[in-house]
Amino acid sequence: MRYFLELSYKGTAYSGFQVQENAPTVQAELERAMQTLFRQSFGLTGSSRTDAGVHALQNFFHFDTELVIENRSVYNLNAILPADISVKGIYEVPADAHCRFSAVAREYKYFIYRDKNPFLDDRAWQYPYPLDLPGLQQAASLLFDYQDYTTFSKRNTQVKTYDCTILASEWIEEGEMLVYQVKANRFLRGMVRGLVGTMLKLGRGQLGLAEFRGIIESRDSSRADFTTPAKGLFLQEVSFPADLAACLVAER
């Protein structure tokens, strides 16, 4: 049987989502907990690879097993896992369901705040500069005009295409935080942080809208700003087709 495992995590202590040699990762902690509980190893396939320090409110793995996984396994796994990783559900899905390739969209949020706040320090970026919010909104809306996001992909990445379809892109205010919210059918490595860093330059008056458009059209990643720290970035949601999404709700 094939199962989807839904989880959330605070990425501060981890070198990313996927297993790496000699580095703590979310996958390694989950595999260790599953082996402890079920007394066998599992081959986990991840949905969305988040970088070191990036958080997730929702992400997925899938795995195949002959075991019948019951709901109480969620509680038992969470008792074994560290406090910064939480399993939210384990769902039986069709054998051809794939948590990465079956996904139709992913949504991210990036959080910034202006005044020093020790309770936000590890989950958002303190950015103490005045910002032109209407200008940021214009920049966010301009992204709908494009599909090629070569400019906002970090180098040394192995992808066949740099095309992405942006489904939502806006700056919103949530309490004392300013949040960039973006949804697309796929994302390139470093894309959201590159977009945020470059748009913030526009928000500070260091770029004009025409210059921002030129940066996108240049397809030159050296012109994007990837210095935005990981701690403000959250993977919010992974979306699946309706028939598969129904499997992930029915057993909650």
Instruction: Tell me whether residue 194 is in a domain.
Output: yes
What domain count does the chain have?
2
Within this chain, do residues 140 and 220 fall inside the same structural domain, yes or no?
A: yes
Tell me the per-residue pLDDT of 124-135, one tens digit each, with 9 for 90 and over: 999 999 999 999
Nearest to 1 by CA among 247, 200, 233, 250: 247
Give the Cα separation of 85 and 11 in Å (integer).
Answer: 9
Within this chain, do residues 51 and 85 fall inside the same structural domain, yes or no?
A: yes
Within this chain, do residues 130 and 40 fall inside the same structural domain, yes or no?
A: no
Q: Which of 40, 70, 102 is the last residue of a domain?
A: 102
Within this chain, do residues 65 and 122 fall inside the same structural domain, yes or no?
A: no
Tell me the per-residue pLDDT of 90-122, one tens digit each, with 9 for 90 and over: 999 999 999 999 999 999 999 999 999 999 999
- Enclosing domain of residue 79: 2-102
Nearest to 16 by CA among 155, 182, 189: 189
Range from 2-16, 20-34, 155-169 that averages highest in pLDDT = 2-16
Q: Is 163 a catalytic residue?
A: no
Instruction: Assign 22 a pLDDT band (cuts: 50, 70, 90).
Output: confident
**Three-class secondary structure of residue 227 per DSSP:** coil
Within this chain, do residues 95 and 124 fall inside the same structural domain, yes or no?
A: no
Within this chain, do residues 231 and 131 fall inside the same structural domain, yes or no?
A: yes
The amino acid sitting at 197 is G
Q: Look at residue 252 in the predicted model and tell me its pLDDT.
A: 44
Q: Return the half-sphere exposure (C-beta side, CA atoms, 13 A cut-off) of residue 67.
A: 18
Q: How far is CA 238 from CA 9, 32, 102, 129, 192, in A?
A: 14, 24, 10, 32, 15
Q: Which of 51, 84, 122, 163 is catalytic?
A: 51
